[in-house]
Structures are given as structure tokens and as C-alpha cells.
Amino acid sequence: MRIKDHPILNVPTEKNYVTFYFEDQPVCGTADDTIASALIANGFDVFGFTEHNHPRGFFCAIGKCSACLVEVDGVPNVRACITPIREGMRVKMQRGRGKPKW
């Protein structure tokens, strides 16, 4: 869901679209989207699960709460709400605290 028309704000009509993958499904977003905004716009509201198997998703939108942690191109604990999308990036749901590679 995106705002396409607004009575006061100017909403640009031409946008550059980027395709990335969430759980191996192609997802389309605009070049200025974060992972979270693109996922929400495409109907995804669960980004992962806690270690107790509770769903996690979008919450603070400023990178402070860690509710939106995902795995990006094999790197865990990436904050979806402040990370811009890139063409072809692979995003996976994170379960628990992730498995960081040290």
C-alpha cells in the first residue's frame, strides 16, 4: 500500500524500482525504500521470530528497538527499518538472535 495521491503533498509519479528477494520470493520496492518499507508495501508484516517463536516486525522505524532484525545476504542482525534495498539482495527472516559469524 502506497500513497499515490495527496491533497497537499506532491507525490512523484515516476520512480525507479528495485527487485530484491524475501524468503526467496521476488519483492519490488522503490529505490528510496528501506527493507521494512518495501516489505510492508508488499503485504509482509512478519520479518522474523523471537527465540520463543513469537513473530517480530516493524515497530520503532528508527533502528533502536531491534524488532525488525533480518538476515541480509547471509549477515544476521540487520535492521530492516534503516537499511536501504539493493537490486538482487537476499533477505531472510531471522529466528532468535541469529547466528553471527565471528
**Residue 68 clears pLDDT 80, i.e. is over it:** yes
Query: Residue 19 pairs with which residues in a beta bridge?
Result: 28
Q: What does the pLDDT average to over 56-71?
A: 92
The answer to whether the CB of 83 falls within 8 A of the CB of 62 is no
Distance CA 94, CA 37 (A): 17
Q: Are residues 40 and 33 in contact, defined by beta-carbon separation less than 8 angstroms? A: no
Q: Residue 38: its pLDDT value, please?
A: 95
Measured distance CA(20)–CA(5) in Å, rounded: 26
pLDDT higher than 90, residue 92: yes
